[in-house]
Amino acid sequence: MEEDFKDLRVSDLIDPEVDVWDFVNVNTMFDQVDCEVILRIPRNNLDSEDIPVWQGHAKGLFTVNGAYKLTRMLETANNTEATTNRHQTFKYNQIWSIDVPKKINHFIFRAIHNRLATTDNLIKRGVIVPNICSLCQNDSEDIMHVFYHCRISREVHQNIQVNNFTSRVMDFKELFSLNGNRLPRDVFKLWIVCIWDISYQRNLIIRKKPFKSPMEIVKFGKDYLERHIASPKDLRSLQPP
């Protein structure tokens, strides 16, 4: 508590003339959130003594242990709320409603459930491999690196005018959902096909086969979607070249 507020009493926040909260005083001394909470507290008409009370203790006494527990409780509540919001906003039919060959819908489904054979997943399953990104050979490899942070992916994103988010994106599910909401439908589809092809190029690199540059991945994505619109059935068995 600020030194100036050390001797502050609840009665200092009440207008004695009309016996209601002194709106100006409360607004001056507290930030907006606290201010709104204070102004919602009903006035106590009992003629009781004004004493400091700590809400985190049954008897109203402040303890460091009590403050620690309260902090942990609020953190857990915030994390649960954030997780719940993320899961509530995600609709799984978003995956299947994208008009691309079904194998790409399946690929996205596996990516969203983190079921791709990225290095971190292989290590979790006991496979002994160096944890290094096959595309850039520069960072450890997990799904968010391959499709979001990797310089190869970033170059693909730049070429299809999809900027990365400035704030932290938690996982591929959130990335998919955010892009689905913000991108025009044709750009979103191109992003999906490019992601699929990035994964395919990664596998080619592992097998020491020739692979595409980021520009070629984008070109492939555009051509692929054009052919899909022209003749969707012809693409059922086509793999990225």
Can you give the binding site for Zn ion, defined by CB under 5 A? Answer: 133, 135-136, 150
Distance (Å, rounded) from C-alpha 109 to C-alpha 96? 9
Task: Please report how close the Cβ of residue 211 comes to Zn ion at its closest, in angstroms.
Answer: 13
Task: Please report how close the Cβ of residue 155 comes to Zn ion at its closest, in angstroms.
Answer: 11
Q: Which is nearer to Zn ion, 45 or 137 (CB)?
A: 137
- 194 closest CA partner among 231, 167, 155, 137: 155
Q: Which is nearer to Zn ion, 145 or 189 (CB)?
A: 145
Sequence length of the chain is 241
**Which CB contacts under 8 angstroms, 24+ apart, belong to 22-31?**
29/5
Q: Which is nearer to Zn ion, 115 or 151 (CB)?
A: 151
Count CA within 13 A, CB hemisphere, residue 150.
Answer: 24
Task: Please report how close the Cβ of residue 135 comes to Zn ion at its closest, in angstroms.
Answer: 4
Distance (Å, rounded) from C-alpha 194 to C-alpha 89? 24
Task: Please report how close the Cβ of residue 214 comes to Zn ion at its closest, in angstroms.
Answer: 12
Sign of CA dihedral 98, 239, 194, 117: positive
Q: Which is nearer to Zn ion, 85 or 138 (CB)?
A: 138
